[in-house]
Amino acid sequence: MPHLSPMSWLSSIAVFWVTLSLFASTLWWTNPHLFNSEANYIKSAPEMLWSWS
């Protein structure tokens, strides 16, 4: 296993965060009601999983 340099760690973390934020903003724009309140989000999470499966 090759030893990763600090720069490659930083770039992989940056790519991860960019992907995560893009995914979150896409969810925000397509399903804004999910983010109205934490309680609604927690309540709707099982429903989302159920509809995806």
C-beta separation of 7 from 13 below 8 A: no
Q: How far is CA 45 from the centre of its chain?
A: 13
Q: Judge if pTM exceeds 0.85.
A: no
Task: Give tens-digit pLDDT for 1-53.
Answer: 567 688 888 899 999 999 998 988 887 777 766 666 555 555 566 776 777 65
